Amino acid sequence: MHLRWLTRWYVRFDTPWILRHLHHTVACGKPVGEAFGAIVFYHHRTHIRETMERVLIGVRNGNNCWQLMRDEGFLTRSEQALFDSAQRIGNLPWSLRSVATRITRQQQDFWQRCFELMRPVVIIMLGLVVAWICYAMFMPLMSLIAENTGNA
């Protein structure tokens, strides 16, 4: 989807992709900070690159990457707490992958609900168009019938 105006304000659309990228980096045994550098250079949306660059600068300055991602709107408080504890325990790849999957599922459920709510509206609008066409076709016919029966 190319909704630049929406994704600029709602960076959460890109969170699953970023978490999956972090998962692959951590699963290879590399530090999380290296993944941020690749995202900064290669992400297809410029505003995400700029946001991740701020996170990368904060990580290089020694700040907690999960807190920085939460401050930028990528993570919720509970996700940040999960990643902090998973990093300490050693389950970070699993938690990154499972949270990315959960966010993707939530986004798909949201869009499916929106489309399901829009379906009756579309059907009603199509019914109104058909009713208008029927009215436009039969009103002249009715006036002709009324004129012919009145003249006889």
Per the structure, the count of domains in the chain is 1
152 residues of the chain, pLDDT tens digit each: 455 555 555 778 889 999 999 999 999 888 888 888 888 888 888 888 888 889 999 999 999 999 999 998 899 999 999 999 999 998 999 999 999 999 999 999 999 999 999 999 999 999 999 999 999 988 888 888 888 886 65
Task: Say what the pLDDT of residue 88 is.
Answer: 92
Q: Report the distance separating Cα 93 and Cα 101, nearest Å.
A: 12
Indicate whether 149 belongs to any domain: no
Residue 40 lies inside a defined structural domain of this protein:
yes
What sign for the dihedral angle of Cα 11, 13, 17, 23? positive
Report pLDDT for 14. Answer: 87
pTM: 0.74
Please indicate, yes or no, if residue 93 is contained in any of the structural domains.
yes
Residue 43, domain member (yes or no): yes
Residue 133 within a domain: no
- Looking at residue 130, what is its pLDDT? 95
Domain assignment of residue 23, given as a range: 4-113
Which pLDDT belongs to residue 9? 59
In Å, how far are 6, 30, 40, 63, 135 from 34, measured between CA atoms?
Answer: 28, 7, 10, 15, 67
- Does some domain include residue 123? no
